[in-house]
C-alpha cells in the first residue's frame, strides 16, 4: 500500500462515485469576517473571536441567532461554551474540533460542509482566534518545556528529548532531502516569500503591508533552523477570522455571491505521523498533499490546469513550493525552477498563489486567512484579483494529514 | 467554618483565567479593592457573570461595570469531604450564591459549617486575603 | 555535537508497552529495532501491529548494527526556535541504518560543518548525570 502511494498510483480500482458526494455543489461559504491583524491586539482571544464572527455574520446577511454549528481545529485556546455564552447563539446543535493541526486548515470547512450537507446544522461558523504575536506562540522551542519531564506521546518521545522541536525543524529534515535530491537552491526558495510579500503590498490588512522585501533582503535574512531562514517562516499574528458555511439553496437568500464547494478532502495516508514520515522510501515529497489533490480533482472533475488561483498553506516557504509539485502545477522536483523569478506564481502567472500574502506575509491565522482569500477570489473582491476566476483552490498544512477545498462560482 | 489552606501549597490562581480572558480583569481588580463588580451591557442593561466580550442578548461589545451590593442567597452548594487539591483542607463547602442583582457567583463560606448551610440562607460578601497576591470574595451569614 | 546547558533538564521519552523493549535496550547501551518475522522487515518506531501483514504476534526485537549514513539533518541556530537545554548551534540528524529504517538522533563529536548528507556514522551511548541514557551518532570509517 505504501509503495502505491509512493508511486503516486491512486485508487486504481473501485473509485467511489462522485454522485454520492453530498457536499459537491450543494454547500457554499457565504460569509467571511476578520479582525485587524496586529502584533499586539491588547485583547483576549475570546474578544477577537466575537468581533470576527460578528463580521462574518454581517457579511453573510444573517443574524447571530441563525448560527447553529461551530467548527475549529485543535490547539485552540478558546472555550467553545464561553464563546457561545458571549455570542448568544441559542440553537447550537453541531460542534467539532478537528485533529491534525495546520493540516486541518481546510478540514474544518470539510467537516462543517458535511454537517450542513447532512442536515446536522444550517449555518456552521468556522472560527480561529489567536494572540500568537503577543502571547503564546505555537511551535516555539521553549514551548516544549511545558511538557516536561516526559514527552507528550510515544512518538514525540523519539524526537523531543533530542532538541528536535518545532515544526520548522521537522519540516527541515524532509526539506533538506528535497533540496538535496532535486538540486533546489536557496535562491529559488526565496522567490516564494518575495512574491508573497509583493501581494501583501496591495493588501492593507496584511501584516507586512507597507514593508516590501527584495530577493536580496531575503538572502540576507538570518538562519532560524537551517535550512530555513527568517523569511522562510510564517509571521506571528494577533487576530481572528471566521467564515460561515451553509447550503447553496439557503445561500440564494443571502447577501453575497456564494463560494460553492466543488470538492473537499481530508487525507491521511500511512507513515505520515510527524516522526514516522521519515520511514517512507522517499521523504522528498508530501504524499498527503498529493492525495488531497487527487481527491479534489476527482470530485471536482477537473485537473491542475483548470485551477485559476490557489492558496497553499505555507507555514514555511518549502511547504508552499513542494505543494506546487504534489498538486500537479509542476513536475516532481521542479518546484524550485517553477518559482524562480516568481512569474509563475504572480497574478498573471501559471498559478497565482497566496494572493493576499499567505501565511508568510498576510497573517498566520492557521489557514483561515487562506480560505477567506479563496472566497474573495470567487467573489471578485481580492486586493490582487485574478481575472475571471472559475475555480479557486485552498489547502491545509503540509507534512501532516492534510486537507483541501476547491471553490467555484 | 472557614476554608483552611495548607500554607506550603500554592492556591490555584484565578489570574490564569484573567490572562486568558482579559474581560475578567475588572472583576479581579474589583476584588482587590473589596468590591464585587458586575459587567453590564451598555445597550440592553443585561448583567453578566462571568464577564465576556459580547452581550449574548444583543451582541453589543460595549459594556460598563457596576458594584454589586454584595448581598444574596445561597442557591446551592457542595461539600468536599476530601480535598481535591493539596492547597485545601477538607471538609469545606463551595457555595453558589445568587446575588440580589441576579447573577450567581461561586464562593466559599466564612464561619458557617457545611452542615449548617441551607438553600435560601441570606448571605453577604466579605473579602479574604488568602495569599500575598490573592484576595477572594467569600460569604458569611447576613445580619 | 550537543552540549547540555546545566540546570535545564532533558525531556524523557514516553515509554509505553509497545516501545518498552526499545528503551530498555538503550538503557543497556544497545540499539534494537522491531522486526516482523513473517515479513522479514524492520519497523520503526515500534507499534503493536505490523502494517504490512497486520499480525500482532510476529514481532520481536533484533539488535541493530548501529551503523548507518546521515540521510538528512537540520541545524538549530536560533534561540527562539530551539530547545533551551542545548548550546547552539546543535544538529538533529536523520540516520538511515543498515537495516533500512531511519532514526532521528543527535551527533557526538561531529562539528557543525562536518554534518553532511552521506556521512557514515555509528551509534554511541551516553549516561547523563540525571540517570538517563541517550543514544547519539558519531563518525565511522566507511
Ligand atoms: Zn446587551
Ligand atoms: Zn509483518
For residues B56 and B116, state if they share a domain. no
Measured distance CA(A19)–CA(A13) in Å, rounded: 17
Which fold is adopted by the domain C66-142?
OB fold (Dihydrolipoamide Acetyltransferase, E2P) (2.40.50)
A313 is an active site residue: yes
When divided into structural domains, chain B yields a total of 2
Closest-CA residue of C relative to A163 is C83
Domain encompassing residue B17: 13-67
Contact exists between B and A (3 or more beta carbon pairs < 8 Å)? yes
Maximum alpha-carbon separation in chain A: 57
Measured distance CA(A362)–CA(C79) in Å, rounded: 25
User: In the listed set B67, B88, B106, which residue is the last one of a domain according to the structure?
Assistant: B67
For residues B107 and B60, state if they share a domain. no
**Residue A126, helix vs strand vs coil:** strand
CB atoms A88 and B59 under 8 Å: yes
Residue B94 lies in a domain: yes
- Domain layout of chain C by residue ranges: 14-63, 66-142
For residues B82 and B128, state if they share a domain. yes
- What is the average pLDDT across A238-257? 97
**Marked catalytic residue, from A5, A218, A364, A383:** A364
Q: Are strands B71-80 and B88-89 parallel, antiparallel or unpaired?
A: unpaired
Cβ within 8 Å of A, C 77-106: 77-86, 89-90, 92, 94, 101-106
Predicted local distance difference test score (pLDDT) of residue A63: 97
User: In the listed set B5, B34, B67, which residue is the last one of a domain according to the structure?
Assistant: B67
For residue A84, the chain B residues in CB contact (below 8 A) are 56
For residues B110 and B57, state if they share a domain. no
A243 is an active site residue: no
For residues B116 and B128, state if they share a domain. yes
**Residue A245, helix vs strand vs coil:** strand
* pLDDT over threshold 90, residue A398: no
Q: In the beta sheet, which residues pair with residue B80?
A: B92
Measured distance CA(A92)–CA(A405) in Å, rounded: 25
Contact A276, A174 (CB under 8 A): no
* pLDDT over threshold 90, residue A9: no
Contact A335, A321 (CB under 8 A): yes
CB atoms C13 and A158 under 8 Å: yes
For residues B37 and B89, state if they share a domain. no
- What is the average pLDDT across A319-330? 97
Measured distance CA(A28)–CA(A407) in Å, rounded: 8
Which ipTM score applies to this complex? 0.85
CB atoms A180 and C82 under 8 Å: no
Q: In the beta sheet, which residues pair with residue B92?
A: B80
Q: Are strands A238-247 and B104-108 parallel, antiparallel or unpaired?
A: unpaired
Model pTM?
Answer: 0.91
Q: Which ligand is nearest to the CA of C55?
A: 2
User: In the listed set B31, B46, B67, which residue is the last one of a domain according to the structure?
Assistant: B67
Q: Which ligand is nearest to the CA of C37?
A: 2
**Residue B96, helix vs strand vs coil:** strand
Contact C106, C90 (CB under 8 A): yes
Show the cell assigned to B108.
466559599
Other Cβ atoms closer than 10 A to A340: 16
Mean pLDDT, chain B, rounded, equals: 89
* pLDDT over threshold 70, residue B14: no
Q: How far does residue C56's CA lie from ligand 2's centre (Å)?
A: 8
Predicted local distance difference test score (pLDDT) of residue A221: 95
For residues B52 and B81, state if they share a domain. no
CB atoms A169 and C45 under 8 Å: no
**Residue C71, helix vs strand vs coil:** strand
For residues B55 and B103, state if they share a domain. no
For residue B21, the chain A residues in CB contact (below 8 A) are 44, 46, 82
Distance from CA of C141 to the nearest CA of A (A): 23
CB atoms B23 and A50 under 8 Å: no
For residues B39 and B75, state if they share a domain. no
**Marked catalytic residue, from A5, A208, A291, A313:** A313
For residue C51, the chain A residues in CB contact (below 8 A) are 2, 270-271
Maximum alpha-carbon separation in chain B: 47
Residue range A387-397, pLDDT digits in tens: 999 999 999 99
For residues B75 and B125, state if they share a domain. yes
Q: Per-residue pLDDT for chain C (142 aa), expressed as one digit of tens each?
A: 678 888 787 889 999 999 999 999 999 999 999 999 999 999 999 999 998 899 999 999 999 999 999 999 999 999 888 888 889 999 999 999 999 999 999 999 999 999 999 999 999 999 988 888 999 999 999 8
Q: Are strands A27-34 and A238-247 parallel, antiparallel or unpaired?
A: antiparallel
Residue B3 lies in a domain: no
Residue B60 lies in a domain: yes
- What is the average pLDDT across A207-212? 97
Residue B136 lies in a domain: yes
**Candidate from A223-232, B10-19, B132-141 with smallest mean pLDDT:** B10-19
Residue A248's alpha-carbon distances to A25, A65, A256, A263, C102, in angstroms, are 7, 20, 12, 14, 48
**Candidate from A65-69, A181-185, A381-385, B47-51 with smallest mean pLDDT:** B47-51
Distance from CA of A85 to the nearest CA of B (A): 6
Please compute, for residue A243, the number of CA atoms within 13 A of its CA located in the half-sphere on the CB side: 27
Contact C69, C121 (CB under 8 A): yes
Measured distance CA(C36)–CA(C23) in Å, rounded: 18
Predicted local distance difference test score (pLDDT) of residue A91: 95
For residues B56 and B85, state if they share a domain. no
Amino acid at each position: 500500500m505504501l509503495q502505491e502511494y509512493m508511486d503516486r498510483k491512486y485508487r486504481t480500482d473501485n473509485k467511489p462515485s462522485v454522485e454520492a458526494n453530498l457536499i459537491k455543489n450543494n454547500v457554499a461559504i457565504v460569509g467571511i469576517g476578520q479582525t485587524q491583524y496586529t502584533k499586539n491586539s491588547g485583547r483576549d482571544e475570546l474578544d477577537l473571536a466575537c468581533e470576527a464572527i460578528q463580521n462574518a455574520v454581517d457579511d453573510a446577511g444573517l443574524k447571530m441567532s441563525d448560527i447553529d454549528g461551530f467548527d475549529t481545529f485543535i490547539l485552540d485556546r478558546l472555550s467553545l461554551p464561553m464563546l457561545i455564552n458571549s455570542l448568544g447563539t441559542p440553537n447550537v446543535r453541531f460542534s467539532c474540533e478537528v485533529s491534525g493541526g495546520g493540516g486541518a486548515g481546510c478540514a474544518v470547512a470539510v467537516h462543517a460542509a458535511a454537517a450542513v450537507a447532512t442536515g446536522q446544522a444550517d449555518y456552521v461558523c468556522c472560527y480561529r482566534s489567536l494572540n500568537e504575536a503577543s502571547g503564546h506562540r505555537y511551535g516555539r522551542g521553549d514551548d516544549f518545556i511545558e511538557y516536561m519531564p516526559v514527552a507528550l506521546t510515544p512518538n514525540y518521545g523519539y524526537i523531543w528529548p533530542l532538541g528536535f522541536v518545532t515544526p520548522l525543524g521537522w519540516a527541515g529534515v524532509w526539506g533538506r532531502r528535497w533540496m538535496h535530491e532535486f538540486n533546489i537552491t536557496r535562491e529559488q526558495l526565496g522567490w516564494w516569500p518575495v512574491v508573497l510579500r509583493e501581494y501583501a503590498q496591495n493588501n492593507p490588512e496584511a501584516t507586512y503591508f507597507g514593508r516590501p522585501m527584495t530577493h536580496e533582503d531575503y538572502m540576507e535574512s538570518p538562519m532560524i533552523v537551517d535550512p530555513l531562514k527568517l523569511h522562510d517562516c510564517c509571521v506571528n499574528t494577533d487576530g481572528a477570522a471566521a467564515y460561515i458555511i451553509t447550503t447553496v439553496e439557503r445561500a440564494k437568500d443571502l447577501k453575497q455571491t456564494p463560494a460553492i464547494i466543488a470538492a473537499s478532502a481530508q487525507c491521511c495516508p500511512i507513515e505520515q505521523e510527524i516522526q514516522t514520515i521519515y520511514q517512507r522510501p522517499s521523504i522528498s515529497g508530501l504524499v498527503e498533499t498529493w492525495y488531497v489533490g487527487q481527491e479534489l480533482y476527482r470530485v471536482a472533475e477537473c485537473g491542475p490546469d483548470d485551477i485559476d488561483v490557489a492558496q497553499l498553506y505555507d507555514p514555511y516557504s518549502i511547504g508552499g513550493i513542494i505543494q506546487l509539485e504534489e498538486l500537479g502545477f509542476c513536475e516532481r522536483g521542479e518546484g524550485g525552477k517553477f518559482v524562480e523569478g516568481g512569474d509563475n506564481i504572480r497574478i498573471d502567472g501559471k498559478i497565482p498563489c497566496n494572493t493576499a500574502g499567505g501565511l508568510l506575509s498576510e497573517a498566520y491565522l492557521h489557514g483561515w486567512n487562506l480560505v477567506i482569500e479563496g472566497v474573495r477570489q470567487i467573489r471578485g473582491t481580492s486586493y490582487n484579483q485574478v481575472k475571471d476566476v472559475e475555480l479557486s483552490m485552498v489547502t491545509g498544512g503540509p507534512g501532516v494529514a492534510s486537507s483541501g477545498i476547491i471553490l467555484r462560482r | 467554618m472557614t476554608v483552611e489552606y495548607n500554607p506550603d501549597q500554592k492556591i490555584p490562581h484565578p489570574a490564569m483565567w484573567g490572562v486568558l480572558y482579559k474581560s475578567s480583569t475588572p472583576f479581579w481588580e474589583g476584588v482587590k479593592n473589596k468590591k464585587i463588580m458586575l459587567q453590564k451591557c451598555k445597550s440592553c442593561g443585561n448583567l453578566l457573570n462571568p464577564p465576556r466580550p459580547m452581550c449574548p442578548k444583543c451582541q453589543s461589545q460595549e459594556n460598563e461595570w457596576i458594584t454589586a451590593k454584595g448581598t444574596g442567597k445561597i442557591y446551592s452548594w457542595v461539600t468536599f469531604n476530601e480535598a481535591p487539591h493539596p492547597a485545601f483542607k477538607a471538609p469545606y463547602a463551595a457555595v453558589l450564591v445568587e446575588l440580589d442583582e441576579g447573577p450567581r457567583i461561586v464562593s466559599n463560606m466564612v464561619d458557617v459549617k457545611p452542615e449548617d448551610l441551607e438553600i435560601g440562607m441570606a448571605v453577604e460578601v466579605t473579602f479574604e486575603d488568602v495569599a500575598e497576591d490573592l484576595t477572594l470574595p467569600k460569604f458569611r451569614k447576613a445580619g | 555535537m550537543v552540549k547540555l546547558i546545566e540546570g535545564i533538564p532533558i525531556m524523557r521519552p514516553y515509554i509505553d508497552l509497545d516501545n518498552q523493549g526499545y528503551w530498555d535496550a538503550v538503557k543497556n547501551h544497545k540499539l534494537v529495532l522491531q522486526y516482523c518475522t513473517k515479513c522479514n522487515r524492520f519497523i520503526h518506531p515500534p507499534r503493536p501491529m505490523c502494517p504490512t501483514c497486520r499480525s500482532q504476534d510476529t514481532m520481536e526485537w533484533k539488535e541493530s548494527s548501529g551503523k548507518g549514513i546521515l540521510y538528512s539533518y537540520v541545524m538549530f541556530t536560533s534561540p527562539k526556535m530551539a530547545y533551551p537545554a542545548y548550546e547552539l548551534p546543535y544538529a538533529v540528524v536523520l540516520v538511515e541504518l543498515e537495516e533500512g529504517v531511519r532514526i532521528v538522533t543527535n551527533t557526538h563529536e561531529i562539528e557543525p560543518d562536518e554534518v553532511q548528507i552521506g556521512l557514515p556514522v555509528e551509534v554511541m551511548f551516553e549516561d547523563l548525570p540525571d540517570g538517563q541514557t541517550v543514544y547519539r551518532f558519531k563518525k565511522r570509517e566507511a
